[in-house]
């Protein structure tokens, strides 16, 4: 056991005193939302919602990417995880679509534009990848990691289940 003398007592008192000068609001600063407004504003969200619904539409068997809120996922990942150059490339592409009046197009015209973007992105031989590749891969990632995507889009098999050692194979696939 350590002997407490005057020097140790003053050191302990100094540390406790210094701790009392730290404002507790500073400790809770991470809990407040002082962040800048999102780059992906409401207009971008509407545009992304249309794009993701064209990439993964709603069917009779499963909900679409829009219902799974994939457009919010894309904005979150692009804003928080992507570097400036990649984020800017996506924003420039979205601005081009907005400038062309994509939101006012008919459903058929929107589908044609997205189909053309997919062709351009797949055939791109540039050193800089096409922004639509990012949007498409983020749509797939967001959808198949969302609850509607997993439970209704894929063949959901909850784990843990019971073990059945001998099950006849009937040729059906586990995932769609």
User: How many C-beta atoms lie closer than 10 Å to residue 55's C-beta?
Assistant: 20
Model-level pTM?
Answer: 0.69
Range of weakest confidence among 9-23, 43-57, 70-84: 9-23
* Of residues 161 and 63, more confidently modeled: 63
The string of pLDDT tens digits covering residues 55-93 is: 999 998 889 999 999 999 999 999 999 999 999 999 999
pLDDT (0 to 100) of residue 123 = 85
The string of pLDDT tens digits covering residues 99-141 is: 999 999 999 999 999 999 999 898 867 778 889 999 999 999 9
pLDDT (0 to 100) of residue 30 = 57
Range of weakest confidence among 37-41, 49-53, 70-74, 125-129: 37-41
Tell me how far CA of residue 172 lies from CA of 119, 129, 147, 157, 169, in angstroms.
Answer: 32, 37, 23, 14, 8
């Amino acid at each position: 056991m350590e002997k407490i003398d005057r020097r140790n007592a003053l050191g302990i008192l100094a540390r406790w005193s210094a701790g009392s000068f730290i404002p507790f609001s500073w400790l809770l600063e991470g809990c407040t939302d002082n962040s800048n407004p999102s780059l992906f504003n409401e207009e971008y969200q509407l545009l992304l919602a249309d794009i993701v619904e064209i990439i993964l539409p709603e069917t009779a068997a499963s909900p679409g990417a829009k219902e799974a809120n994939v457009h919010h996922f894309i904005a979150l990942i692009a804003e928080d995880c992507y570097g400036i150059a990649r984020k800017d490339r996506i924003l420039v592409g979205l601005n081009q679509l907005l400038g062309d009046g994509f939101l006012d197009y008919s459903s058929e015209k929107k589908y044609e534009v997205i189909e053309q973007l997919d062709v351009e992105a797949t055939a791109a031989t540039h050193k800089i990848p096409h922004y639509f590749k990012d949007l498409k891969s983020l749509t797939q990632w967001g959808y198949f990691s969302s609850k509607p995507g997993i439970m209704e889009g894929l063949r959901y098999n909850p784990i843990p289940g019971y073990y059945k050692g001998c099950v006849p194979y009937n040729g059906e696939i586990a995932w769609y």
